[in-house]
Amino acid sequence: MAVKIPKKLIEVALPLDDINAAASREKSIRHGHPSTLHLWWARRPLAAARAVIFSQMVNDPGGDRGYYAGKTKAQADAEREKLFDIDFRIKLNDHIKQLFSKISLTPYSPEIFEDYSIRLQESAGGQSLQVAASQGENQILSLAFIGSIIEIVREYNTKKKQHLPGPDASNYPLVMDSPFGSLDHNYRYQIAKHLPLLANQIVVLVSKTQWRGEVEDEMKAKVGSSYVLTYYSPKEDVKKDEVTINGHNYTLVMPSPNEFEYTEIMELNHGG
């Protein structure tokens, strides 16, 4: 009796564009990668090697003749997409690790799981243990996750020379509300340094205390437009608050001239 050997995924389908993008990016890494420790002879791209090994070990969902019994072509294609999702998670995990290591001052390493939840792990005694992340570390994790997704979309659009269905996601603005609120001096500087690199356009909402110091020093030259939000409070005894920008005073909080609560937005001159 002849033994039927099912086809492997590599014989039927392989996301070559995604693999090429990951291998190209890996080659340009200058910090935080084992290959940077030494000039390795006959170095092999790890991203391509992982993809080839994985696809050689996994059976193609389409079965021996293209489909399993009772499975349509559409169902087989959907199963292949699930396998490709594993490869996407591996690539996303690599992006997140590299970006997190650039910003964070700790030796912890983020790991992304099947449900796309992210946890910080620490290597102790040869084991990977989960770390109770601080509020600041969770904030950096969120930045690394969002920035990595944006970067992968950029790579996809560049390699495919076409955009994903719908509006071009790589050009969406990244909106961050109080990204410096729970951070100390060192992390405020680190995030201010890397935040402008995460997307083509960044919208940052900050209080006057969050903007001062190292954040303003690092980001001021990269600001395209500035706005002041003035909050009108219906309370008569509210304390008036102001901010000084480039020698000009702007009101942040003041009593409402009527019984209504509202906010006005004022655009400032470039750099002010």
User: What would the two tokens of residue 204 be?
Assistant: 């940052």
What is the SS3 assignment for 130-196?
ECCCCHHHHHHHHHHHHHHHHHHHHHHHHHHCCCCCCCCHHHCCEEEECCCCCCCHHHHHHHHHHHH
Question: Which residues, listed in sequence order, are joined to residue 119 by a DSSP beta bridge?
Answer: 111
User: What would the two tokens of residue 200 be?
Assistant: 């083509």
Distance CA 183, CA 181 (A): 6
Q: Which residue has the higher pLDDT, 94 or 75?
A: 94
Q: What is the mean pLDDT of residues 231-238?
A: 90
Task: Give pLDDT tens digits for 149-197.
Answer: 877 777 766 655 544 455 555 566 788 888 887 788 888 888 888 888 8
What spatial distance separates the first Cα and last Cα of the chain, rounded to whole Å? 81
What's the pLDDT band for 254 if we cut at 50, 70, 90? very high
Query: How confident is the model at residue 270, as a pLDDT?
Result: 60
